Structure 1
Amino acid sequence: MTIKRIIASLIYAVLAAIYLYGYKMLNLIIDEFDSSFSMISVTGILLPFGLAVGGMVIVSSCFRSVRMKSAFIGLSLLLFLTPVLYSVSKLTANESQAVNPLRQAELAKRFKEALRGGTDGAPISMASVAPFDWDRLIVFGPYVSPSEVNGKLGYTWTRSSFLNSNETDYTILFVNNGKVVQSLYFAGSVDPAILGTFWPNDVKLAVDNQQGTFRLPHLKKYKEEKESDPG
Structure 2
Amino acid sequence: MKKALITISIAIVVIGIVFYGINQKERQIVQQNLITAIEKSRVGNELVTIDFKKITGFSWDKVYVFTPYTPEEEINQQLGFNWSKANLIEYYDSFNLLVFVKENKVVQYVKFPRTNGKFIVESKNEFAPDEKVEFNQLY
TM-score (norm 1): 0.43
Alignment pair present for 1:112 and 2:35: yes
More strand by share: 2
Give the whole-Å Cα distance in 2 for the aligned partners of 1:168 and 1:161: 14
Give the whole-Å Cα distance in 2 for the aligned partners of 1:175 and 1:192: 18
Structure 1 stretches of 4+ with a deviation exceeding 4 A read none
Residue 153 to residue 113, structure 1, CA distance change in 2 (3 Å): same
Q: Are 1:135 and 1:175, in contact at CA under 8 Å, matched by a contact in 2?
A: yes
Larger Rg, first or second structure (1 or 2): 1
Matches within 5 A, 1:1-231: 100-119=23-42, 120=45, 121-158=47-84, 161-188=87-114, 189-193=118-122, 195-202=124-131, 204-210=132-138, 212=139
Amino acid at match of 1:109: Q
Q: 1:104 offset after TM fit, Å?
A: 1.3
Q: Are 1:126 and 1:200, in contact at CA under 8 Å, matched by a contact in 2?
A: yes
Give the whole-Å Cα distance in 1 for the aligned partners of 2:49 and 2:92: 27
Aligned residue for 1:201, secondary structure, equals: coil
Q: 1:165 offset after TM fit, Å?
A: 2.6
RMSD between aligned alpha carbons? Answer: 2.8
User: CA offsets, 1:194-223, max 9 Å, x none?
Assistant: 652111101x2344333x1xxxxxxxxxxx
Give the whole-Å Cα distance in 2 for the aligned partners of 1:191 and 1:198: 12
Amino acid at match of 2:29: E
Counting matched residue pairs gives 116
Amino acid at match of 2:37: A
Q: 1:134 offset after TM fit, Å?
A: 0.6
